[in-house]
């Protein structure tokens, strides 16, 4: 019976080790990098959103690079429902030389998001601009850049070029680049320029709270929830292990009774 227990424990350890390795090596299908200047304050709301394939087992360790010195205000899992149902996950922020690394874990869904406030907006009268040299720090199959134009803005230009313009629930225009393929270490300059004939945030705190209850204004990730297939397999394995131990103990007692 001892040999059986050792064998079962060894197999369980192997399963858990394989799951941990898969979590560390997971590669997202896409990485969205979004810039929302003058949205709910006078700075830039930076959003980094990742989406992983459905066949990647949970949990998944997520790493997202944010602009150096940006203040991380939220990170977590996107459930696909109203933002109030998204799952907040406390991140670990690791300062690097020219960026900050945000690390957190997905345990319920395969879509995660980081939000940060960044003082990267330059203002000269009505002229506004953002310039950021992006370096691909982690592997991703596709990278897409986005820009949400604030209210009463015009003459928008963006690099990489916008491939589509969407209208959000907040009635603001969202510019999205075509998906790019960037290797780790690859560089892409993101820049945007526009004119704005207004000052102050695009939305009021009341509007922001309403959108939080009803749904995100577009451009953010959305996902599914539920137990992962790997979790179910582990639960089944534990049940089989317990069953095997009980059966072995029963047989051992039966054998001793005969003797």
- Give a yes or no: residue 197 inside a domain: yes
Q: What band does 242 get if pLDDT is binned at 50, 70 and 90?
A: low
| Contact between residue 149 and residue 175 where contact means Cβ atoms under 8 Å apart | yes
Packing angle, helices 229-258 and 2-24, rounded to 10? 170
The residue that leads in pLDDT, 115 or 239, is: 115
Residue with the bigger pLDDT between 23 and 154: it is 154
Q: Is residue 188, in this structure, part of any structural domain at all?
A: yes
For residue range 151-199, list pLDDT tens digits in order.
999 999 999 999 999 998 899 999 999 999 999 999 999 999 999 999 8
pLDDT higher at 209 or 189: 189
Residue 7 lies in a domain: no
Looking at the chain, how many residues does it have? 259
Give the integer Cα–Cα distance in Å for 149 and 133.
Answer: 20
pLDDT band at 225 (very low <50, low <70, confident <90, very high): very low
Report pLDDT for 246. Answer: 52
Kindly report the CATH number assigned to the domain that includes residue 63: 2.60.40
Q: What is the pLDDT of residue 204?
A: 75
Separation between Cα atoms, residue 253 and residue 20, nearest integer Å: 38
Within a domain: 6: no
Verdict on whether the full-model pTM lies above 0.85: no
Average of pLDDT values for 22-39?
87
In a domain, 217, yes or no: no
Range of the domain at 77: 22-212+223-229
Domain-located, residue 243 = no
> Is 255 a residue whose pLDDT tops 70?
no
What total number of domains does the chain contain? 1
Q: What percent of the chain has pLDDT over 90?
A: 64
| Band of residue 252 on the pLDDT scale cut at 50, 70, 90 | low
pLDDT computed for residue 169 by the predictor: 85
The per-residue pLDDT for range 111-164, each reduced to its tens digit, is: 999 999 999 999 999 999 999 999 999 999 999 999 999 999 999 999 999 999
Q: What is the pLDDT of residues 78-104, one digit of tens each?
A: 999 998 899 999 999 999 999 999 999
Mean pLDDT of 215-232: 39
Could you tell me if residue 79 is inside a domain? yes
Q: 107: phi > 0 → left, psi -120 to 50 → alpha, else beta; which?
A: alpha
Separation CA 28–CA 143 (nearest Å): 10
Which comes out higher in pLDDT, residue 1 or 252?
Answer: 252
Contact by Cβ (8 Å): 38, 196? yes
Q: Does 240 fall in a domain?
A: no
């Amino acid at each position: 019976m001892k040999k059986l227990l050792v064998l079962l424990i060894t197999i369980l350890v192997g399963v858990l080790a394989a799951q941990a390795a898969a979590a560390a090596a997971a590669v997202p299908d896409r990485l969205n990098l979004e810039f929302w200047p003058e949205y709910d304050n006078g700075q830039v709301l930076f959003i980094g959103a990742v989406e992983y394939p459905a066949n990647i087992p949970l949990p998944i360790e997520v790493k997202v690079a944010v602009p150096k010195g940006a203040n991380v205000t939220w990170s977590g899992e996107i459930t696909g429902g109203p933002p109030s149902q998204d799952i907040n996950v406390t991140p670990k922020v690791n300062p690097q030389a020219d960026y900050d690394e945000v690390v957190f874990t997905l345990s319920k869904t395969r879509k995660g998001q980081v939000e940060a406030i960044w003082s990267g907006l330059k203002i000269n009268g009505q002229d506004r601009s953002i310039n950021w040299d992006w370096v691909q720090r982690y592997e991703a199959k596709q990278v897409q850049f986005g820009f949400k134009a604030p209210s009463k803005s015009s003459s928008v230009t963006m690099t990489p070029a916008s491939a589509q313009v969407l209208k959000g629930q907040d009635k603001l225009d969202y510019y999205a680049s075509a998906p790019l393929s960037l290797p780790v270490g690859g560089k892409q300059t993101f820049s945007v320029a526009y004119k704005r004939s207004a000052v102050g945030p695009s939305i009021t705190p009341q509007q922001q709270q309403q959108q939080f209850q009803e749904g995100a204004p577009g451009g953010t990730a959305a996902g599914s929830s539920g137990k992962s297939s790997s979790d179910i397999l582990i639960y089944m394995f534990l049940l089989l292990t317990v069953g095997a131990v009980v059966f072995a103990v029963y047989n051992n007692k039966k054998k001793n009774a005969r003797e």
